Amino acid sequence: MGARLIVIDTNFLLLPFKYKINIIKELDYLVEKNHQLVISSRTMDELAMIGKKIGKDGMAARLAMKMIDAAGKGFLVVESSDIVDDWIVSYASKNNAMVCTNDSQLRRRLKALKLKVITMKSKSRIGFV
C-alpha cells in the first residue's frame, strides 16, 4: 500500500507564521503512516498572490512558499483549474485523502463525505476533528 495522501488548504499553510507551528513535524506525529503532502497548483497561485501583499498575511504566504520549496519532494503539487475548495473535496473523495484546513464550511463538506479532517485544536497544536 502506498503513502496516505494529506491535502493541505491554503489557510493551513499560513499557520507556521501565525502560530509558530511546524505543520510538517506536527503531521509526522499525528499521522503515523507513511504520508504524502498534496497541494493544488491553485493553492500555489493563491500563496503567490497573498505573498505580494505587505503585512502579516504576505509574510505568512512567503514563509509557506519557502517551506514548500525546502520540503522538496515532501509536497506533491497537483495541477488543477478548479476552485480550490471544490478541488480539495473532489481530490480527497477520489483518493480517500485526509485534509488539513481551518475553513469551517470546507470542514463541513468533508465531514459529510466521512473524510478525515485535521485542523487547529489550540494555538499550539493541530488534530483531527
- Which of the given ranges, 20-29, 83-92, 118-127, has the highest pLDDT on average? 83-92
| Predicted confidence (pLDDT) per residue in 1-16, tens digit | 578 999 999 999 999 9
Burial class (CB in 10 A: 0-12, 13-18, 19+), 59: middle
| Predicted confidence (pLDDT) per residue in 94-116, tens digit | 999 999 999 999 999 999 999 99
Taken in order of first residue, the domains within the chain and their CATH numbers are 4-128 (3.40.50.1010)
